[in-house]
Amino acid sequence: MSLRINDVAPDFTAETTQGPIHFHEWIGDGWAVLFSHPKDFTPVCTTELGTMAGLEPEFKKRGVKILGLSVDPVDSHSKWAKDIEDVTGHQVKYPLIGDPELKVAKLYDMLPADSGNTSEGRTPANNAAVRTVFVIGPDKQIKLQLIYPMSTGRNFNEILRAVDSVQLTAKHKVSTPANWNPGDEIIISGAVSNEDAAKLFPGFKTVKPYIRTAAQPK
């Protein structure tokens, strides 16, 4: 079964660069970003993990933990860390899952079931599907899922922006329009009557009968 938005994120135990974790317990009452990469000691992945390391303080401000994953063993991640810091100037302080038996990658539908049971001998091309991002809420449900091709590095500022939107819309009866950024106007949910909208969003604007905008609530 493919994972979809609002599915409960599969729970698992795994070894990481910071010791063993039980995923749902590790998330606790906060939010989490689980992101994977095809292989250690590869160029795009080096830039990605360093970029995420640089943004970690911003995720922490939002109560979001970061967890990386690849099918390489934990000791490979640890050896690679120096290269990431040399190239990007950022030290990876978040945990990285070692998944050499492909268990978590398969659990999250990053690799097909017939991929075998070991990372030994696998190339980045074999692992091309493993460039995935999951944003998971305090209820342990999947709030967002992104899959990128192996040759395209991810825009982690966009993932941060998406987290801002997901957290805002979880708290208020609103949606965010295309290219929204924090502080921009929001769209009022269709489930909110005009009478209630006037109380919740004083001065809201009706663009079309089905589009009502207002200042972002706090």
Residues with a catalytic annotation lie at 45
Q: Which amino acid, 83?
A: D
Instruction: Compute the distance between CA of residue 186 and CA of residue 54 in angstroms, rounded to an integer.
Output: 28
- Please, what is the Cα angle at 153 between 145 and 165, to 5 degrees? 40
- Please, what is the Cα angle at 159 between 158 and 164, to 5 degrees? 95
Instruction: Compute the distance between CA of residue 203 and CA of residue 209 in angstroms, rounded to an integer.
Output: 16
Beta strands in 29-82 (DSSP E): 31-36, 64-70
DSSP state of 152: S
Q: Retrieve residue 35's tokens.
A: 């992101």
CA-based nearest residue to 13, from 99, 73, 92: 99
Local structure of 98: helix, strand or coil: strand
Sheet holding 64-70, edge to edge: 21-22, 13-16, 96-98, 64-70, 31-36, 132-136, 142-147
